[in-house]
Structure 1
Amino acid sequence: MSLSLSFILRKIINIAAICGGSYLAILFASFAIRRTLIITSRFEKKQDLNRRLKTVAPLLQSLAKYVIGFFAVILVLRQLGVDAAAILAGAGVVGIAIGFGAQTLVKDILTGVFLLIEDSISVGDIVQIGDLTGTVEDIGLRVTRIRPFSGALVIIPNGEITRIANFNRGFTRAIVEVGIAYEEDVDRAIQVLQNIASQYREANPSKILEEPTIHRIARLDSSAVILRVILKVAPKEHWGVERDLLYLIKKTFDEEKIEIPYQKHVVFMKDLR
Protein backbone atom coordinates (compact mmCIF):
# COMPACT_ATOMS: atom_id res chain seq x y z
CA MET A 1 0.00 0.00 0.00
CA SER A 2 2.84 2.33 0.95
CA LEU A 3 4.68 1.48 -2.27
CA SER A 4 1.57 2.08 -4.34
CA LEU A 5 0.97 5.45 -2.68
CA SER A 6 4.57 6.56 -3.21
CA PHE A 7 4.32 5.45 -6.86
CA ILE A 8 1.17 7.54 -7.35
CA LEU A 9 2.74 10.55 -5.65
CA ARG A 10 5.82 10.25 -7.87
CA LYS A 11 3.63 10.17 -10.97
CA ILE A 12 1.69 13.21 -9.79
CA ILE A 13 4.92 15.10 -9.10
CA ASN A 14 6.28 14.15 -12.53
CA ILE A 15 3.08 15.28 -14.27
CA ALA A 16 3.10 18.56 -12.32
CA ALA A 17 6.75 19.06 -13.27
CA ILE A 18 5.95 18.42 -16.95
CA CYS A 19 3.06 20.90 -16.89
CA GLY A 20 5.11 23.53 -15.06
CA GLY A 21 8.11 23.04 -17.32
CA SER A 22 5.89 23.28 -20.41
CA TYR A 23 4.38 26.52 -19.15
CA LEU A 24 7.84 27.99 -18.51
CA ALA A 25 8.99 26.77 -21.92
CA ILE A 26 6.06 28.54 -23.60
CA LEU A 27 6.88 31.78 -21.76
CA PHE A 28 10.56 31.49 -22.69
CA ALA A 29 9.71 30.72 -26.33
CA SER A 30 7.42 33.78 -26.54
CA PHE A 31 10.13 36.00 -25.06
CA ALA A 32 12.81 34.51 -27.32
CA ILE A 33 10.66 35.00 -30.44
CA ARG A 34 10.05 38.68 -29.67
CA ARG A 35 13.71 39.29 -28.83
CA THR A 36 14.85 37.53 -32.01
CA LEU A 37 12.50 39.61 -34.15
CA ILE A 38 13.69 42.80 -32.46
CA ILE A 39 17.37 41.90 -32.93
CA THR A 40 16.97 40.86 -36.56
CA SER A 41 15.00 44.06 -37.27
CA ARG A 42 17.21 46.50 -35.36
CA PHE A 43 18.19 48.33 -38.56
CA GLU A 44 14.57 48.80 -39.67
CA LYS A 45 12.34 51.73 -38.87
CA LYS A 46 10.31 51.62 -35.68
CA GLN A 47 7.11 51.47 -37.72
CA ASP A 48 8.36 48.43 -39.65
CA LEU A 49 9.44 46.74 -36.42
CA ASN A 50 6.01 47.24 -34.83
CA ARG A 51 4.38 45.90 -37.99
CA ARG A 52 6.57 42.79 -37.93
CA LEU A 53 5.92 42.18 -34.22
CA LYS A 54 2.15 42.45 -34.70
CA THR A 55 2.19 40.13 -37.70
CA VAL A 56 4.80 37.43 -37.15
CA ALA A 57 5.19 37.26 -33.36
CA PRO A 58 1.62 36.04 -32.52
CA LEU A 59 1.81 33.34 -35.20
CA LEU A 60 5.20 32.02 -34.09
CA GLN A 61 4.15 32.15 -30.44
CA SER A 62 1.00 30.15 -31.19
CA LEU A 63 3.03 27.61 -33.18
CA ALA A 64 5.51 27.23 -30.32
CA LYS A 65 2.66 26.82 -27.83
CA TYR A 66 1.08 24.01 -29.85
CA VAL A 67 4.37 22.19 -30.39
CA ILE A 68 5.35 22.38 -26.72
CA GLY A 69 1.83 21.42 -25.68
CA PHE A 70 1.87 18.38 -28.00
CA PHE A 71 5.10 17.02 -26.52
CA ALA A 72 3.87 17.79 -23.00
CA VAL A 73 0.74 15.70 -23.64
CA ILE A 74 2.92 12.83 -24.93
CA LEU A 75 5.08 12.96 -21.78
CA VAL A 76 2.02 13.06 -19.52
CA LEU A 77 0.52 10.05 -21.31
CA ARG A 78 3.77 8.16 -20.80
CA GLN A 79 3.56 8.89 -17.07
CA LEU A 80 0.04 7.44 -17.13
CA GLY A 81 1.28 4.26 -18.80
CA VAL A 82 -0.04 4.99 -22.30
CA ASP A 83 2.15 3.84 -25.21
CA ALA A 84 3.22 7.14 -26.79
CA ALA A 85 4.89 5.39 -29.75
CA ALA A 86 1.57 3.93 -30.83
CA ILE A 87 -0.04 7.37 -30.58
CA LEU A 88 2.68 8.92 -32.72
CA ALA A 89 2.40 6.17 -35.30
CA GLY A 90 -1.36 6.60 -35.42
CA ALA A 91 -0.98 10.34 -35.74
CA GLY A 92 1.36 9.81 -38.69
CA VAL A 93 -1.15 7.61 -40.50
CA VAL A 94 -3.96 10.10 -39.83
CA GLY A 95 -1.72 12.92 -41.03
CA ILE A 96 -1.04 11.15 -44.32
CA ALA A 97 -4.75 10.53 -44.84
CA ILE A 98 -5.56 14.16 -44.11
CA GLY A 99 -2.79 15.27 -46.47
CA PHE A 100 -4.35 13.37 -49.36
CA GLY A 101 -7.88 14.49 -48.59
CA ALA A 102 -7.26 18.12 -47.68
CA GLN A 103 -5.30 19.57 -50.57
CA THR A 104 -7.14 22.89 -50.24
CA LEU A 105 -6.05 23.12 -46.61
CA VAL A 106 -2.44 22.42 -47.57
CA LYS A 107 -2.65 25.12 -50.27
CA ASP A 108 -4.02 27.63 -47.73
CA ILE A 109 -1.22 26.88 -45.28
CA LEU A 110 1.56 27.06 -47.89
CA THR A 111 0.22 30.37 -49.20
CA GLY A 112 0.05 31.71 -45.64
CA VAL A 113 3.66 30.71 -45.02
CA PHE A 114 4.86 32.50 -48.15
CA LEU A 115 2.79 35.59 -47.30
CA LEU A 116 4.66 35.83 -44.00
CA ILE A 117 8.09 34.93 -45.37
CA GLU A 118 7.87 37.42 -48.25
CA ASP A 119 6.31 40.08 -45.98
CA SER A 120 3.67 40.82 -48.63
CA ILE A 121 1.13 42.12 -46.11
CA SER A 122 1.16 42.86 -42.40
CA VAL A 123 -1.35 43.50 -39.67
CA GLY A 124 -2.62 47.08 -40.00
CA ASP A 125 -1.99 47.35 -43.75
CA ILE A 126 -4.76 48.62 -46.03
CA VAL A 127 -4.95 46.20 -48.93
CA GLN A 128 -7.12 45.31 -51.89
CA ILE A 129 -7.66 41.61 -52.52
CA GLY A 130 -9.91 41.02 -55.51
CA ASP A 131 -12.79 43.45 -55.17
CA LEU A 132 -12.37 43.76 -51.39
CA THR A 133 -10.51 46.69 -49.81
CA GLY A 134 -9.93 46.90 -46.08
CA THR A 135 -7.53 46.78 -43.13
CA VAL A 136 -5.69 43.57 -42.32
CA GLU A 137 -6.54 42.53 -38.75
CA ASP A 138 -4.94 39.10 -38.59
CA ILE A 139 -2.79 36.83 -40.77
CA GLY A 140 -2.91 33.13 -39.97
CA LEU A 141 -1.45 30.11 -41.65
CA ARG A 142 -4.86 29.19 -43.07
CA VAL A 143 -6.92 32.39 -43.28
CA THR A 144 -6.46 36.16 -43.40
CA ARG A 145 -8.96 38.47 -41.69
CA ILE A 146 -9.75 41.83 -43.31
CA ARG A 147 -12.15 44.50 -42.10
CA PRO A 148 -13.48 46.75 -44.91
CA PHE A 149 -14.97 50.20 -44.41
CA SER A 150 -18.42 48.65 -43.85
CA GLY A 151 -17.13 47.19 -40.58
CA ALA A 152 -17.88 43.54 -41.34
CA LEU A 153 -14.99 41.16 -40.67
CA VAL A 154 -14.21 39.22 -43.86
CA ILE A 155 -12.28 35.94 -43.56
CA ILE A 156 -10.39 34.91 -46.71
CA PRO A 157 -8.71 31.49 -47.11
CA ASN A 158 -5.08 32.14 -47.98
CA GLY A 159 -5.30 29.84 -50.99
CA GLU A 160 -7.75 32.26 -52.63
CA ILE A 161 -5.32 35.19 -52.41
CA THR A 162 -3.75 35.50 -55.86
CA ARG A 163 -3.18 39.26 -56.20
CA ILE A 164 -2.67 41.90 -53.50
CA ALA A 165 -2.62 45.69 -53.79
CA ASN A 166 -0.94 47.07 -50.67
CA PHE A 167 -1.54 50.78 -50.00
CA ASN A 168 0.95 50.92 -47.10
CA ARG A 169 4.15 50.36 -48.99
CA GLY A 170 6.16 53.16 -50.57
CA PHE A 171 3.68 55.73 -51.86
CA THR A 172 0.30 56.10 -53.55
CA ARG A 173 -1.13 58.60 -56.01
CA ALA A 174 -4.20 60.78 -55.64
CA ILE A 175 -5.87 61.17 -59.04
CA VAL A 176 -8.66 63.71 -59.45
CA GLU A 177 -10.49 64.41 -62.68
CA VAL A 178 -12.78 67.39 -63.20
CA GLY A 179 -14.78 68.43 -66.24
CA ILE A 180 -15.22 71.97 -67.48
CA ALA A 181 -17.54 73.28 -70.17
CA TYR A 182 -16.22 73.55 -73.73
CA GLU A 183 -16.87 77.30 -73.60
CA GLU A 184 -14.42 77.79 -70.68
CA ASP A 185 -10.81 78.94 -71.05
CA VAL A 186 -8.77 75.73 -70.63
CA ASP A 187 -5.50 77.52 -69.75
CA ARG A 188 -7.24 79.54 -67.04
CA ALA A 189 -8.85 76.41 -65.57
CA ILE A 190 -5.48 74.61 -65.58
CA GLN A 191 -3.84 77.54 -63.77
CA VAL A 192 -6.59 77.49 -61.14
CA LEU A 193 -6.08 73.76 -60.63
CA GLN A 194 -2.33 74.27 -60.33
CA ASN A 195 -2.85 76.94 -57.66
CA ILE A 196 -5.27 74.71 -55.72
CA ALA A 197 -2.89 71.73 -55.76
CA SER A 198 0.17 73.83 -54.85
CA GLN A 199 -1.59 75.53 -51.94
CA TYR A 200 -2.85 72.17 -50.69
CA ARG A 201 0.70 70.78 -50.79
CA GLU A 202 2.01 73.73 -48.79
CA ALA A 203 -0.71 73.20 -46.20
CA ASN A 204 -0.09 69.43 -45.98
CA PRO A 205 3.66 68.83 -46.46
CA SER A 206 3.57 65.44 -44.68
CA LYS A 207 0.97 64.05 -47.09
CA ILE A 208 2.22 65.32 -50.46
CA LEU A 209 5.63 63.94 -51.48
CA GLU A 210 6.22 65.77 -54.78
CA GLU A 211 5.03 68.75 -56.77
CA PRO A 212 1.52 68.25 -58.19
CA THR A 213 1.15 67.37 -61.86
CA ILE A 214 -1.62 68.70 -64.11
CA HIS A 215 -2.30 66.50 -67.13
CA ARG A 216 -4.01 69.32 -68.97
CA ILE A 217 -6.67 67.71 -71.12
CA ALA A 218 -7.05 64.06 -70.15
CA ARG A 219 -9.85 63.45 -72.65
CA LEU A 220 -12.77 65.08 -74.42
CA ASP A 221 -16.19 63.87 -73.32
CA SER A 222 -19.46 64.53 -75.05
CA SER A 223 -20.28 67.50 -72.81
CA ALA A 224 -17.08 68.35 -70.95
CA VAL A 225 -13.33 68.83 -71.24
CA ILE A 226 -11.74 66.54 -68.62
CA LEU A 227 -8.71 67.87 -66.74
CA ARG A 228 -6.63 65.66 -64.44
CA VAL A 229 -4.63 66.44 -61.29
CA ILE A 230 -2.12 63.90 -59.95
CA LEU A 231 -0.33 64.07 -56.60
CA LYS A 232 2.21 61.61 -55.22
CA VAL A 233 1.17 61.11 -51.60
CA ALA A 234 2.20 59.19 -48.50
CA PRO A 235 0.90 55.62 -48.08
CA LYS A 236 -2.90 55.21 -47.66
CA GLU A 237 -3.45 59.00 -47.84
CA HIS A 238 -4.81 59.16 -51.39
CA TRP A 239 -8.49 58.74 -50.47
CA GLY A 240 -8.45 61.70 -48.09
CA VAL A 241 -6.42 63.85 -50.48
CA GLU A 242 -8.83 63.15 -53.33
CA ARG A 243 -11.82 64.14 -51.19
CA ASP A 244 -10.11 67.34 -50.07
CA LEU A 245 -9.18 68.31 -53.62
CA LEU A 246 -12.68 67.70 -54.95
CA TYR A 247 -14.06 69.98 -52.25
CA LEU A 248 -11.50 72.71 -52.94
CA ILE A 249 -11.97 72.47 -56.72
CA LYS A 250 -15.75 72.80 -56.49
CA LYS A 251 -15.50 75.72 -54.09
CA THR A 252 -12.82 77.55 -56.12
CA PHE A 253 -14.50 76.95 -59.47
CA ASP A 254 -17.70 78.47 -58.09
CA GLU A 255 -15.76 81.52 -56.94
CA GLU A 256 -13.93 81.82 -60.28
CA LYS A 257 -17.17 81.31 -62.25
CA ILE A 258 -15.76 78.26 -64.04
CA GLU A 259 -18.63 76.06 -65.12
CA ILE A 260 -18.64 72.37 -64.27
CA PRO A 261 -21.17 70.84 -66.72
CA TYR A 262 -23.80 68.42 -65.53
CA GLN A 263 -26.74 66.67 -67.08
CA LYS A 264 -29.86 68.79 -67.49
CA HIS A 265 -33.37 67.61 -68.27
CA VAL A 266 -35.82 69.84 -70.09
CA VAL A 267 -39.49 68.98 -69.54
CA PHE A 268 -42.20 70.26 -71.91
CA MET A 269 -45.67 70.42 -70.44
CA LYS A 270 -48.35 69.83 -73.08
CA ASP A 271 -51.77 71.29 -72.60
CA LEU A 272 -54.19 68.38 -73.13
CA ARG A 273 -57.35 70.46 -72.81
Structure 2
Amino acid sequence: MSKEMQSPAAPERQPKKSGSAGYMVILAACVALFAVFGYFLRDNKLSPLATGLAVVWSLFAAVQLLLEKLHSHAKTVSAMLSSVVKYGAVIASILFLLNAAGVDTSTLLAAAGIASLIVGFAAQSLIEDVITGIFILFEGQYKIGDFLVLGDFRGQVIDIGVRTTTIEDAGGNRKIVNNSDIRNVQNRSRKDSYAVSKVSVSYDTKMSRLREVFDAHRQEIFERNSDMFEDLPSFNGIQEFQDSGILLHFSVKVAEKDIFRAQRVLNGELKELFDANGIEIPFPQVVVHKQQT
Protein backbone atom coordinates (compact mmCIF):
# COMPACT_ATOMS: atom_id res chain seq x y z
CA MET A 1 0.00 0.00 0.00
CA SER A 2 1.44 3.37 -0.93
CA LYS A 3 2.49 5.58 1.90
CA GLU A 4 0.68 8.66 0.68
CA MET A 5 -2.31 8.94 -1.63
CA GLN A 6 -2.42 12.64 -2.39
CA SER A 7 -0.64 15.35 -4.28
CA PRO A 8 2.86 16.06 -2.95
CA ALA A 9 2.86 18.12 0.18
CA ALA A 10 4.33 21.58 0.15
CA PRO A 11 7.98 21.54 1.18
CA GLU A 12 8.65 22.45 4.74
CA ARG A 13 9.59 26.04 5.24
CA GLN A 14 13.22 26.45 6.19
CA PRO A 15 13.74 28.05 9.59
CA LYS A 16 14.74 31.68 9.50
CA LYS A 17 18.35 32.45 10.08
CA SER A 18 19.12 33.93 13.45
CA GLY A 19 20.02 37.61 13.65
CA SER A 20 22.65 36.94 16.32
CA ALA A 21 25.55 37.56 13.93
CA GLY A 22 24.13 40.95 12.94
CA TYR A 23 23.61 42.00 16.54
CA MET A 24 27.15 40.89 17.40
CA VAL A 25 28.48 43.12 14.61
CA ILE A 26 26.42 46.07 15.92
CA LEU A 27 27.66 45.44 19.45
CA ALA A 28 31.31 45.22 18.35
CA ALA A 29 31.01 48.38 16.24
CA CYS A 30 29.43 50.29 19.13
CA VAL A 31 32.13 49.16 21.56
CA ALA A 32 34.79 50.28 19.09
CA LEU A 33 33.02 53.63 18.59
CA PHE A 34 32.77 54.14 22.34
CA ALA A 35 36.45 53.31 22.80
CA VAL A 36 37.56 55.71 20.07
CA PHE A 37 35.43 58.71 21.05
CA GLY A 38 35.31 58.00 24.79
CA TYR A 39 39.05 57.72 25.30
CA PHE A 40 41.18 58.58 22.26
CA LEU A 41 39.07 61.43 20.85
CA ARG A 42 37.31 62.53 24.04
CA ASP A 43 38.00 66.22 23.31
CA ASN A 44 36.40 66.04 19.87
CA LYS A 45 33.11 67.97 19.65
CA LEU A 46 31.45 64.90 18.13
CA SER A 47 32.44 62.80 21.14
CA PRO A 48 29.20 63.25 23.19
CA LEU A 49 27.05 62.36 20.17
CA ALA A 50 29.17 59.36 19.14
CA THR A 51 29.47 57.93 22.66
CA GLY A 52 25.76 58.46 23.34
CA LEU A 53 24.74 56.64 20.15
CA ALA A 54 27.25 53.88 20.91
CA VAL A 55 25.70 53.32 24.35
CA VAL A 56 22.14 53.30 23.00
CA TRP A 57 22.78 50.85 20.17
CA SER A 58 25.09 48.61 22.18
CA LEU A 59 22.32 48.25 24.76
CA PHE A 60 19.89 47.55 21.92
CA ALA A 61 22.13 44.80 20.48
CA ALA A 62 22.76 43.28 23.92
CA VAL A 63 19.03 43.13 24.71
CA GLN A 64 18.26 41.59 21.31
CA LEU A 65 20.91 38.91 21.82
CA LEU A 66 19.42 38.11 25.22
CA LEU A 67 15.86 37.96 23.86
CA GLU A 68 16.89 35.56 21.07
CA LYS A 69 17.74 32.95 23.70
CA LEU A 70 14.19 32.82 25.01
CA HIS A 71 11.63 30.24 23.86
CA SER A 72 7.92 29.29 24.11
CA HIS A 73 5.88 31.87 26.06
CA ALA A 74 9.06 33.76 26.91
CA LYS A 75 9.76 33.97 23.18
CA THR A 76 6.39 35.68 22.70
CA VAL A 77 7.25 38.19 25.42
CA SER A 78 10.66 38.74 23.82
CA ALA A 79 9.09 39.50 20.43
CA MET A 80 7.04 42.34 21.90
CA LEU A 81 9.92 43.60 24.05
CA SER A 82 12.14 43.54 20.98
CA SER A 83 9.68 45.80 19.20
CA VAL A 84 9.59 48.20 22.18
CA VAL A 85 13.39 48.27 22.46
CA LYS A 86 13.73 48.98 18.74
CA TYR A 87 11.38 51.97 18.94
CA GLY A 88 13.17 53.19 22.08
CA ALA A 89 16.60 53.00 20.44
CA VAL A 90 15.42 55.00 17.42
CA ILE A 91 13.80 57.69 19.62
CA ALA A 92 16.90 57.97 21.82
CA SER A 93 19.12 58.30 18.73
CA ILE A 94 16.93 61.09 17.36
CA LEU A 95 17.16 62.94 20.69
CA PHE A 96 20.97 62.63 20.70
CA LEU A 97 21.14 63.97 17.13
CA LEU A 98 18.86 66.90 17.95
CA ASN A 99 20.89 67.68 21.06
CA ALA A 100 24.11 67.64 19.02
CA ALA A 101 22.49 70.03 16.55
CA GLY A 102 21.82 72.51 19.36
CA VAL A 103 18.13 71.80 19.89
CA ASP A 104 16.92 72.08 23.49
CA THR A 105 15.54 68.56 23.88
CA SER A 106 14.12 69.21 27.38
CA THR A 107 11.85 71.91 25.95
CA LEU A 108 11.05 69.62 23.03
CA LEU A 109 10.06 66.78 25.38
CA ALA A 110 7.82 69.12 27.40
CA ALA A 111 6.13 70.26 24.19
CA ALA A 112 5.83 66.66 23.08
CA GLY A 113 3.96 65.85 26.29
CA ILE A 114 1.33 68.45 25.43
CA ALA A 115 1.26 67.44 21.77
CA SER A 116 0.82 63.80 22.68
CA LEU A 117 -2.51 64.65 24.32
CA ILE A 118 -3.68 66.22 21.09
CA VAL A 119 -2.31 63.46 18.89
CA GLY A 120 -3.77 60.84 21.25
CA PHE A 121 -7.31 61.73 20.23
CA ALA A 122 -6.36 61.22 16.57
CA ALA A 123 -4.44 58.00 17.26
CA GLN A 124 -6.99 56.08 19.28
CA SER A 125 -6.64 53.02 17.04
CA LEU A 126 -2.87 52.99 17.62
CA ILE A 127 -3.33 53.21 21.38
CA GLU A 128 -5.97 50.47 21.22
CA ASP A 129 -3.58 48.23 19.25
CA VAL A 130 -0.83 48.69 21.85
CA ILE A 131 -3.12 48.10 24.84
CA THR A 132 -4.66 45.03 23.20
CA GLY A 133 -1.16 43.71 22.47
CA ILE A 134 -0.28 44.04 26.16
CA PHE A 135 -3.42 42.10 27.16
CA ILE A 136 -2.64 39.39 24.59
CA LEU A 137 0.84 39.10 26.06
CA PHE A 138 -0.09 38.88 29.73
CA GLU A 139 -3.30 36.85 29.31
CA GLY A 140 -1.47 34.34 27.12
CA GLN A 141 -4.28 34.22 24.54
CA TYR A 142 -1.78 32.93 22.00
CA LYS A 143 1.97 32.84 21.53
CA ILE A 144 4.49 32.54 18.71
CA GLY A 145 4.18 29.11 17.11
CA ASP A 146 0.45 28.70 17.82
CA PHE A 147 -1.97 27.97 14.98
CA LEU A 148 -4.89 30.40 14.79
CA VAL A 149 -8.09 30.52 12.78
CA LEU A 150 -9.04 34.15 12.22
CA GLY A 151 -12.09 34.49 10.00
CA ASP A 152 -11.34 32.48 6.87
CA PHE A 153 -7.56 32.59 7.42
CA ARG A 154 -5.73 29.77 9.18
CA GLY A 155 -2.02 29.97 9.94
CA GLN A 156 0.83 29.97 12.44
CA VAL A 157 1.77 33.00 14.53
CA ILE A 158 5.29 34.04 13.52
CA ASP A 159 5.51 37.46 15.17
CA ILE A 160 3.72 39.51 17.83
CA GLY A 161 4.59 43.19 17.82
CA VAL A 162 3.46 46.23 19.78
CA ARG A 163 0.81 47.04 17.15
CA THR A 164 0.36 43.97 14.96
CA THR A 165 0.36 40.18 14.88
CA THR A 166 1.70 38.32 11.82
CA ILE A 167 0.19 34.96 10.82
CA GLU A 168 1.54 32.71 8.04
CA ASP A 169 -0.47 29.95 6.35
CA ALA A 170 0.77 26.67 4.87
CA GLY A 171 1.43 28.33 1.51
CA GLY A 172 3.72 30.98 3.00
CA ASN A 173 1.09 33.75 2.69
CA ARG A 174 1.21 36.22 5.54
CA LYS A 175 -1.64 38.11 7.14
CA ILE A 176 -0.69 41.12 9.25
CA VAL A 177 -3.50 42.06 11.63
CA ASN A 178 -3.78 44.99 14.00
CA ASN A 179 -3.96 43.65 17.55
CA SER A 180 -7.22 45.50 18.21
CA ASP A 181 -8.83 43.73 15.21
CA ILE A 182 -8.16 40.24 16.59
CA ARG A 183 -11.56 39.15 17.85
CA ASN A 184 -13.29 35.77 17.98
CA VAL A 185 -9.98 34.05 17.23
CA GLN A 186 -9.68 30.28 17.54
CA ASN A 187 -6.41 28.94 18.98
CA ARG A 188 -5.91 25.49 17.46
CA SER A 189 -2.80 24.75 19.53
CA ARG A 190 -4.42 24.59 22.97
CA LYS A 191 -5.60 20.97 22.63
CA ASP A 192 -4.64 17.84 20.71
CA SER A 193 -5.43 17.92 16.98
CA TYR A 194 -7.08 15.10 15.08
CA ALA A 195 -7.30 14.47 11.36
CA VAL A 196 -10.79 13.15 10.58
CA SER A 197 -11.92 10.92 7.74
CA LYS A 198 -15.61 10.29 7.03
CA VAL A 199 -16.29 7.50 4.57
CA SER A 200 -19.49 5.68 3.58
CA VAL A 201 -19.89 1.92 3.27
CA SER A 202 -22.74 -0.19 1.91
CA TYR A 203 -25.65 -1.18 4.14
CA ASP A 204 -24.66 -4.78 3.43
CA THR A 205 -21.37 -4.28 5.32
CA LYS A 206 -21.08 -6.10 8.63
CA MET A 207 -19.77 -3.65 11.24
CA SER A 208 -18.11 -6.43 13.23
CA ARG A 209 -16.10 -7.56 10.19
CA LEU A 210 -15.19 -4.00 9.26
CA ARG A 211 -13.90 -3.36 12.76
CA GLU A 212 -11.86 -6.60 12.67
CA VAL A 213 -10.30 -5.64 9.34
CA PHE A 214 -9.48 -2.13 10.55
CA ASP A 215 -8.05 -3.30 13.89
CA ALA A 216 -5.86 -5.84 12.09
CA HIS A 217 -4.30 -3.19 9.82
CA ARG A 218 -4.25 0.07 11.81
CA GLN A 219 -0.80 -0.70 13.23
CA GLU A 220 0.52 -1.02 9.65
CA ILE A 221 -1.18 2.24 8.69
CA PHE A 222 0.46 3.98 11.66
CA GLU A 223 3.92 2.60 10.89
CA ARG A 224 3.73 3.74 7.26
CA ASN A 225 2.89 7.25 8.39
CA SER A 226 4.65 7.48 11.75
CA ASP A 227 6.36 10.70 10.66
CA MET A 228 2.92 12.32 10.62
CA PHE A 229 0.58 10.24 12.82
CA GLU A 230 1.18 10.57 16.57
CA ASP A 231 -0.93 7.56 17.53
CA LEU A 232 -2.82 4.63 16.00
CA PRO A 233 -5.82 5.68 13.88
CA SER A 234 -9.21 5.03 15.48
CA PHE A 235 -12.61 3.86 14.23
CA ASN A 236 -15.14 5.94 16.17
CA GLY A 237 -18.35 4.33 14.94
CA ILE A 238 -21.30 5.32 12.76
CA GLN A 239 -21.61 9.03 12.04
CA GLU A 240 -24.83 9.02 10.03
CA PHE A 241 -27.31 6.85 8.11
CA GLN A 242 -27.42 8.18 4.56
CA ASP A 243 -29.64 7.35 1.59
CA SER A 244 -27.05 5.20 -0.16
CA GLY A 245 -24.80 4.06 2.69
CA ILE A 246 -23.58 4.28 6.28
CA LEU A 247 -21.24 7.18 7.03
CA LEU A 248 -18.37 6.10 9.30
CA HIS A 249 -16.05 8.28 11.38
CA PHE A 250 -12.28 7.67 11.61
CA SER A 251 -9.63 9.87 13.23
CA VAL A 252 -5.93 10.00 14.09
CA LYS A 253 -3.95 12.28 16.41
CA VAL A 254 -1.54 14.59 14.55
CA ALA A 255 0.30 17.87 14.94
CA GLU A 256 -1.89 20.83 14.00
CA LYS A 257 0.44 21.78 11.14
CA ASP A 258 -0.16 18.35 9.51
CA ILE A 259 -3.91 18.11 10.02
CA PHE A 260 -5.04 18.55 6.40
CA ARG A 261 -2.23 16.51 4.89
CA ALA A 262 -2.89 13.73 7.40
CA GLN A 263 -6.58 13.75 6.50
CA ARG A 264 -5.76 13.15 2.84
CA VAL A 265 -3.34 10.36 3.78
CA LEU A 266 -5.92 8.67 6.04
CA ASN A 267 -8.54 8.86 3.27
CA GLY A 268 -6.15 7.12 0.89
CA GLU A 269 -5.24 4.43 3.41
CA LEU A 270 -8.90 3.62 4.11
CA LYS A 271 -9.74 3.46 0.40
CA GLU A 272 -6.99 0.94 -0.28
CA LEU A 273 -7.85 -1.04 2.87
CA PHE A 274 -11.52 -1.31 1.89
CA ASP A 275 -10.70 -2.23 -1.73
CA ALA A 276 -8.31 -4.97 -0.61
CA ASN A 277 -10.93 -6.52 1.70
CA GLY A 278 -14.02 -6.24 -0.48
CA ILE A 279 -15.70 -3.50 1.56
CA GLU A 280 -17.88 -1.48 -0.79
CA ILE A 281 -17.87 2.32 -0.82
CA PRO A 282 -21.24 3.21 -2.43
CA PHE A 283 -21.73 6.00 -4.94
CA PRO A 284 -24.79 7.40 -6.73
CA GLN A 285 -25.68 5.52 -9.91
CA VAL A 286 -28.04 6.43 -12.70
CA VAL A 287 -30.04 3.66 -14.39
CA VAL A 288 -31.17 4.46 -17.92
CA HIS A 289 -34.03 2.43 -19.40
CA LYS A 290 -34.24 2.30 -23.17
CA GLN A 291 -37.81 2.74 -24.41
CA GLN A 292 -39.11 -0.13 -26.49
CA THR A 293 -40.45 0.84 -29.91
- TM-score bracket, normalised by the shorter chain, equals 0.7 to 0.9
2:179 aligned partner, one-letter code: N
Measured after TM superposition, the shift of residue 251 of structure 1 is 0.8
> What percentage of aligned pairs have identical amino acids?
29
CA distance in 1, matches of 2:120, 2:291: 76
Query: Paired residue for 1:162?
Result: 183
2:85 aligned partner, one-letter code: A
Structure 2 residue ranges without an equivalent (≥5): 1-42
Q: Deviations over 1:24-82 (max 9, x none)?
A: 222233234446x4xxxxxxxxxxx26744x4434323322321332343244234331
Distance of aligned partners of 1:93 and 1:196 in 2 relative to their CA distance in 1, 3 Å threshold: farther
User: Size of the alignment, in residue pairs?
Assistant: 251
Contact 1:109 1:158 in 2 (8 A): yes
Distance of aligned partners of 1:159 and 1:229 in 2 relative to their CA distance in 1, 3 Å threshold: same
Measured after TM superposition, the shift of residue 152 of structure 1 is 2.9
Measured after TM superposition, the shift of residue 202 of structure 1 is 4.5
CA distance in 2, matches of 1:107, 1:197: 51
Report the TM-score, using the length of structure 2 for normalisation: 0.72
Report whether the alignment pairs 1:27 with 2:61.
Answer: yes
Q: Deviations over 1:212-250 (max 9, x none)?
A: 442222211121101112333344343333222111111
Measured after TM superposition, the shift of residue 259 of structure 1 is 1.2
CA distance in 1, matches of 2:167, 2:246: 39
Query: Structure 1 stretches (4+) deviating beyond 6 angstroms?
Result: none
Structure 1 residue ranges without an equivalent (≥5): 1-8, 38-48
* SS in structure 1 of the partner of residue 251 of structure 2: strand
- Candidates 208, 212, 233, aligned match of 1:187: 208
1:102 aligned partner, one-letter code: A
Contact 1:174 1:232 in 2 (8 A): yes
Q: What is the correspondence of 1:102-251 to structure 2 with a 5 Å cutoff?
A: 102-204=123-225, 207-209=228-230, 212-251=233-272
Q: Deviations over 1:184-214 (max 9, x none)?
A: 2232223323334343234555655555442
Distance of aligned partners of 1:233 and 1:33 in 2 relative to their CA distance in 1, 3 Å threshold: closer
Contact 2:53 2:96 in 1 (8 A): no
2:240 aligned partner, one-letter code: R
CA distance in 2, matches of 1:32, 1:202: 41
Contact 2:165 2:177 in 1 (8 A): yes
Report whether the alignment pairs 1:66 with 2:102.
Answer: no
1:30 aligned partner, one-letter code: Q
Q: What is the correspondence of 1:37-52 to structure 2 with a 5 Å cutoff?
A: 37=70, 49=71, 52=74
- Candidates 83, 93, 99, aligned match of 2:104: 83
User: How well do the aligned residues superpose, as a CA RMSD in angstroms?
Assistant: 3.0
Distance of aligned partners of 1:63 and 1:199 in 2 relative to their CA distance in 1, 3 Å threshold: same
Q: Which has the higher contact order (CA 8 A, sep 6+)?
A: 2
Query: Paired residue for 2:116?
Result: 95
Q: Which stretch of the first structure deviates more once superposed, 16-25 or 229-238?
A: 229-238
Measured after TM superposition, the shift of residue 126 of structure 1 is 2.8
Distance of aligned partners of 1:151 and 1:263 in 2 relative to their CA distance in 1, 3 Å threshold: farther
2:53 aligned partner, one-letter code: C
Distance of aligned partners of 1:246 and 1:74 in 2 relative to their CA distance in 1, 3 Å threshold: same
CA distance in 1, matches of 2:186, 2:99: 50
Contact 1:168 1:236 in 2 (8 A): no
* SS in structure 2 of the partner of residue 265 of structure 1: coil
Query: Paired residue for 2:47?
Result: 13
* SS in structure 1 of the partner of residue 264 of structure 2: helix
